A = this chain, B = another copy of it.
Amino acid sequence: MNAQNCLEILRSIKDVAFATIDRDGKPQVRMIDMMLIEEGKLFFCTARGKDFYQELCDLPEAAITGMNEKYQMVRFNAKVKKLSDQKYWIDRIFEENPSMKDVYPGDSRYILEPFVMDEGTLEFFDLGVSPIHRESFALKMPVKEKGFLISDACIGCGTCQRNCPQQAIIKGTPYVIKQEQCLHCGLCFEKCPVKAIFRRGLSR
């Protein structure tokens, strides 16, 4: 699994959930087709009349997610960039997605504007395997670490390991969280008697 595989899953799901922030500072989400894929790039389009278009112009930040039939989920948090060569990209999108002609016949297609996402962080989350499996990747920026870490303040009591719902903690000095199996539920963090476990990542 790598960043490109994650983009390919989103393109194969096609209809992914696409979140933005509106002018009232509230979250918005709708299903959007992922129209094209290139190495490290995912393309989509939307019509200039839509609230979605206005939101992207105001704050070009996207959070995208989709789950395929194997219960593999991908999250992509990306910067959104409007493409300048509108006609070229809309024509290419319609060529590779012929059903678009039913929705926007003839020249009405040029009410659409093309966008690309090629910079951001990716999370892959496989719920179809047991234990669950997660990995993080990034495009043109560092990977963002999330979840929890057990520090050297660990006294080795094993409370975290006994409480973990996914058996994702290994005995050691200190004990270690298997990050790829962690739900980020925070039970170890709450139960540690010496507060040796801390949250990773500066922002939420």
Contacts and interface: CB of A to CB of B under 8 A. Distances in A.
A17 interface: yes
Interface in A10-43: 15, 17-31
A64 B29 CA distance: 6
Contacts of A62: 27
A97 interface: no
A64 B189 CA distance: 29
A189 B65 CA distance: 31
A48 interface: yes
Number of copies: 2
A61 B26 contact: yes
Interface stretch (A1-9, A49-57, A86-94, A151-159): A49-57
A62 B23 CA distance: 15
Contacts of A19: 17, 19, 27-29, 63
A135 to B, nearest CB: 15
A31 B104 CA distance: 30
A49 B185 contact: yes
26 contacts: A19-B29, A21-B25, A21-B26, A21-B27, A22-B203, A22-B204, A26-B77, A27-B61, A27-B63, A29-B63, A30-B65, A31-B67, A47-B185, A47-B186, A49-B148, A49-B187, A49-B199, A51-B146, A58-B204, A103-B183, A104-B185, A108-B164, A108-B185, A108-B187, A111-B185, A111-B187
Which 10 pairs from chain A and chain B are nearest by CB?
A49-B186, A17-B17, A19-B19, A47-B185, A108-B165, A19-B29, A19-B27, A27-B63, A29-B63, A23-B204
